[in-house]
Amino acid sequence: MLETFYISETYFTLEEIKNFKEKFGYEIKEIDYTSATGEIDFSEKEEKEFLLSKGYPKILARFFA
């Protein structure tokens, strides 16, 4: 079953959240994605760094390639 998840600000500092909005023009918490495997763990450095550098989670990278 597919579920829709919205990214929480839990694993991000206030500065990261502010910088993200300035760089990409939208809030981290506005991003959603659908997955059958569950929610992305942004406490993992690789997942967090990808989101902060690209503006979308790795699970969505196939749509932006």
Number of structural domains the chain divides into:
1
Tell me, what's the pLDDT at 65?
64
The boundaries of the domain holding residue 27 are 3-64
| Per-run averaged pLDDT (10 residues), the chain, 65 residues | 91 97 96 88 94 92 74
pTM here? Answer: 0.86
Report which of 18, 12, 4, 20 is spatially closest to residue 59, judged by C-alpha positions.
4
Which residues are within 8 A (CB) of 17 and not within 5 positions of it... i.e. 6 or more apart? 9, 27, 28
Which SS3 state, helix, strand or coil, does residue 26 take? Answer: coil
